[in-house]
Structure 1
Amino acid sequence: MSSKKRAKERQKAMRRTSLVGAVVNLALTIGKVIFGIVGQSHALIADGVHSLADLSTDLMVWFAAKYSNQPADEDHPYGHARIETMFTVALGVVLIVTSVGIAWDSAERLLNPSLLLQPTPIVLLIAFISILANEGLYQYTMIAARKHRSSLLKANAWHHRSDAISSVVVLLGVAGSLLGLTYLDAFAAAVVAFMIAKIGWEQAWNSIRELIDTGLDAKQVSAIKKLIKNIDGVHGVHMLRTRRMGGSSIVDVHIQVDDFLSVSEGHRISEHVRHILLESNKDIVDVVIHIDPEDDEVSDPSSKLPLRSEVLKDLRSVWQEDIEYLDMEKVVLHYLNGQIHIEVFDRAEPAPEVSERLVEKAQQLTYVGRVSWYCPLSRR
């Protein structure tokens, strides 16, 4: 499936689940507030406010679906997935603010017994209906979240479940109040507030960690490193970095290959590593691989060595007497361990003493290491 088609299906799923959630939560909000007032239950009214928060987050998801699934462009080369992350932070903040308001009101009622309400049995029925409705929304939304790897849908699913759990607390609190423990209704509202705050904090904090490019957990990173090390042609792995982008992961890594490998073979190995990583984990959507002939994680011993144009200029200077034997375009340079190792391919086969002289002259340059000589006969 193409990335464009996958993004389109993801957008449809996000909008569909948010629309279903919005309709259900609108009905629950109205029902809980009305019957909370009629049935004199502070806990049910608080739960109605929670459902109103659920409704607002459903609307967030609906709008986020439109923008977060847009394809990458020149200004956003990694796509727009973090719009979803920002909405998830906003969702968490809404939950926390909601919980503070409920907790404040509950505390006032617990400290002033005259403000306590006396619930009626109708509240139990509404709370039970809320439990069934929100657990159904949780299951429905979580299936879509897992299928499309959406952190925002997952957060919204847990929001639905938190409403279901808060309704369970309401059910218990109201039942206790009906049995004579009048403070239990307000206490249940305070417990609901705590639960809402906890879920809101977890969702917001996880998304903030993503926004500041927190890497994958140590177990996942270790698995990725082990997988790469076992690929044919890879001699080492270093500078492995990971980050999240919406519901996806991005990996960039340096891999060490044979130090005298050709550029094309090194590229072929890197593409093979990239393919295996993408196939191994559906969450990984982008992999950048840097090829190294040596481990440069701590230091790069070859960083101050001269580039090709300067090296050839120096070689022409020391080889000027025998330059007729050489095709300077056939000089291959290998930057390793703080030295430049040279491979020379002759256009003609010089006398042994000539090639030996050329090797000695090249090695007069302080940065030159091993010099290898190849002539037409040796290439046949």
Structure 2
Amino acid sequence: MKQLNESSNNWWATGEGVTLGGGVINVVIGFIKFFAGSVGGSPALLADALHSFSDLATDIVVLLGYRIGRAPEDDKHPWGHGKIETLATLIMGVVISVLGVGMAIDAVINLTGEPSPTPPGIIALGAALLSIVGKEGLFRWTAWVARGTDSRLILSNAWHHRTDSLSSIAALLGVWAARNGFWWGDPLAVIVVSLFIVKVGADLLLPAYQDLTDASVEDETLIIIEETLGNIQGVKGYHNVRARRAGAELFIDIDIEVDGGLNVIQGHDVARAVKTALLTGVKGTRDVMVHIEPIEARVEVERRELLQKRAAEIALETQGVLGVHGVRLIPDASGCLINIDIEVSPDLIIKEAHEIAHNLKYKLKELEGVGDAVIHVDLHGDV
């Protein structure tokens, strides 16, 4: 199911376009930072440049995951390839989390090491500032496309750009601090930024893991589904509302209750109306499986459960009954047959036990819808 920008003729409004464009910009920024870090004598900027070059690997993961994940279904993948996009999102979450941890470790090592005797040149400041502006621009562009295409994978890449921007801020602070005699400013800034980066990675990992394990969608989406069902003519009730994600696509499975007097064609028309309403009313819905049940079936189940409960209560209220188990309802021509097991004291004689069973049977037959009752007597303590 195509999303807002996916059918756009503008390459910059598509998932593949923004990923390819971002890769090119990453290379350009990487070369600028590498040159400035080498000339300006900034180890922090050189490390940030290598980080930009390494982004090409994640851009390839995003591009392949997005392209394969949005491929149409085939004979071996009748539900599409959305899980590939989710898997790629999971990989991005791991990469970003590992990146944050690695930055923190390097910062701690630098903090305990010897300061550089020569402060970085002014060119390093300009390159770091340019990197911040460029990466922040990439974040906003990619996030805009992610919202339009409803892609968590593209959104994960957007946040990857944001983490790069933050690492460049750390590099900028480090260069400024080193030029002003505060050599420890760089590693401290990196540690703070790394904590944020790890959180971003974790925030990407959890939803991706839930989608891969077919966890239910968020409550907000379930509310939209239920509100949509409430506006469809012919739907008397619903239950077992289930929805899961595969990439950007949503799959819904639901049981609806209709008038049991409808014929097969009429019931099918209601189911088709439900499917159409959910496909058009719930964003990202790829397929809807609708199960039809007569409303009378649910009413009958509830009636039988109440009848079983009431029968057990009456039995326990009957004098001489010490316990109840195995309350069963059996439909018959006269209405319903109650088959119940009761427990009585082993000190009773047969006549007394028979009278207890007889009294209980009389009470049960007075219940509405009960035609007869069969009482089984067991000794209390032997069951």
| Common fold by TM > 0.5 | yes
Instruction: Using the TM superposition, give the Cα deviation of residue 30 of structure 1 relative to its aligned residue in structure 2, in angstroms.
Output: 2.8
- Deviation sequence 1:182-202 (CA, Å, 0-9, x none): 101122232333333222222
Closer, same or farther in 2 for the Cα pair 1:205/1:240, shift >3 Å? same
Q: In 1, Cα distance between the equivalents of 2:74 and 2:195?
A: 42
Alignment of structure 1 residues 353-368 onto 2, 5 Å = 363=333
Amino acid in the other structure paired with 2:102: G
Which position in structure 1 is the counterpart of 2:45?
44
Which position in structure 2 is the counterpart of 1:110?
111
Q: Contact 1:41/1:119 (CA < 8 Å) preserved in 2? A: yes
User: Are positions 1:149 and 2:153 aligned together?
Assistant: no
Q: In 2, Cα distance between the equivalents of 1:262 and 1:136?
A: 59
Instruction: Using the TM superposition, give the Cα deviation of residue 221 of structure 1 relative to its aligned residue in structure 2, in angstroms.
Output: 0.8
User: Are positions 1:276 and 2:311 aligned together?
Assistant: no
User: Are positions 1:119 and 2:120 aligned together?
Assistant: yes
Closer, same or farther in 2 for the Cα pair 1:203/1:117, shift >3 Å? farther
Instruction: Using the TM superposition, give the Cα deviation of residue 296 of structure 1 relative to its aligned residue in structure 2, in angstroms.
Output: 7.2
Question: Secondary structure of 1:207's match?
Answer: helix
Instruction: Using the TM superposition, give the Cα deviation of residue 27 of structure 1 relative to its aligned residue in structure 2, in angstroms.
Output: 2.0
User: Are positions 1:135 and 2:136 aligned together?
Assistant: yes
Instruction: Using the TM superposition, give the Cα deviation of residue 256 of structure 1 relative to its aligned residue in structure 2, in angstroms.
Output: 0.9
Q: In 1, Cα distance between the equivalents of 2:68 and 2:8?
A: 14
Structure 1 stretch 7-16 or stretch 234-243: which is displaced more? 7-16
Count of paired positions: 311
Which position in structure 2 is the counterpart of 1:377?
none
Question: Secondary structure of 1:237's match?
Answer: strand
- Deviation sequence 1:12-42 (CA, Å, 0-9, x none): 7332222111111112223323433443334
Question: Secondary structure of 2:48's match?
Answer: helix
Q: In 1, Cα distance between the equivalents of 2:166 and 2:298?
A: 49
- Deviation sequence 1:25-64 (CA, Å, 0-9, x none): 1122233234334433343234324323422211112222
Which position in structure 2 is the counterpart of 1:28?
29
Closer, same or farther in 2 for the Cα pair 1:231/1:77, shift >3 Å? same
Amino acid in the other structure paired with 2:168: S
Which position in structure 2 is the counterpart of 1:15?
16
User: Are positions 1:57 and 2:58 aligned together?
Assistant: yes
Closer, same or farther in 2 for the Cα pair 1:207/1:298, shift >3 Å? farther
Instruction: Using the TM superposition, give the Cα deviation of residue 228 of structure 1 relative to its aligned residue in structure 2, in angstroms.
Output: 0.5
Alignment of structure 1 residues 75-86 onto 2, 5 Å = 75-86=76-87
Instruction: Using the TM superposition, give the Cα deviation of residue 8 of structure 1 relative to its aligned residue in structure 2, in angstroms.
Output: 7.5
Question: Secondary structure of 1:75's match?
Answer: coil
Q: Contact 2:259/2:296 (CA < 8 Å) preserved in 1? A: no
- Unpaired runs of at least 5, structure 2: 303-328, 338-368, 370-383
Instruction: Using the TM superposition, give the Cα deviation of residue 108 of structure 1 relative to its aligned residue in structure 2, in angstroms.
Output: 0.9
Which position in structure 2 is the counterpart of 1:179?
180
Q: In 2, Cα distance between the equivalents of 1:207 and 1:293?
A: 37
Q: Contact 2:97/2:201 (CA < 8 Å) preserved in 1? A: yes
Amino acid in the other structure paired with 1:225: E
Instruction: Using the TM superposition, give the Cα deviation of residue 78 of structure 1 relative to its aligned residue in structure 2, in angstroms.
Output: 0.7
Question: Secondary structure of 1:292's match?
Answer: strand
Q: Contact 1:10/1:148 (CA < 8 Å) preserved in 2? A: no
Amino acid in the other structure paired with 2:53: L
Amino acid in the other structure paired with 1:19: L
- Deviation sequence 1:343-366 (CA, Å, 0-9, x none): xxxxxxxxxxxxxxxxxxx94898
Q: Contact 2:34/2:45 (CA < 8 Å) preserved in 1? A: yes
Which position in structure 2 is the counterpart of 1:162?
163
Q: Contact 2:93/2:201 (CA < 8 Å) preserved in 1? A: yes
User: Are positions 1:262 and 2:286 aligned together?
Assistant: no
- Unpaired runs of at least 5, structure 1: 302-337, 341-361, 371-380
| Identical-pair percentage | 34
Amino acid in the other structure paired with 1:220: T
Amino acid in the other structure paired with 1:70: A
Q: Contact 1:106/1:190 (CA < 8 Å) preserved in 2? A: yes
Q: In 2, Cα distance between the equivalents of 1:177 and 1:299?
A: 79
Which position in structure 1 is the counterpart of 2:350?
none
Question: Secondary structure of 2:241's match?
Answer: strand
Which position in structure 2 is the counterpart of 1:293?
294
Amino acid in the other structure paired with 1:16: G
Alignment of structure 1 residues 336-355 onto 2, 5 Å = none
Amino acid in the other structure paired with 1:151: R
Q: Contact 2:66/2:153 (CA < 8 Å) preserved in 1? A: no
Which position in structure 2 is the counterpart of 1:205?
206
Q: Contact 1:69/1:80 (CA < 8 Å) preserved in 2? A: yes
Q: In 2, Cα distance between the equivalents of 1:116 and 1:222?
A: 62
Q: In 2, Cα distance between the equivalents of 1:105 and 1:116?
A: 19
Which position in structure 2 is the counterpart of 1:94?
95
Closer, same or farther in 2 for the Cα pair 1:34/1:187, shift >3 Å? farther
Amino acid in the other structure paired with 2:271: S
Structure 1 stretch 89-98 or stretch 187-196: which is displaced more? 187-196
* TM-score using structure 1 length: 0.72
Question: Secondary structure of 1:165's match?
Answer: helix
Q: Contact 1:210/1:243 (CA < 8 Å) preserved in 2? A: yes
Structure 1 stretch 198-207 or stretch 30-39: which is displaced more? 30-39
Q: Contact 1:150/1:247 (CA < 8 Å) preserved in 2? A: yes
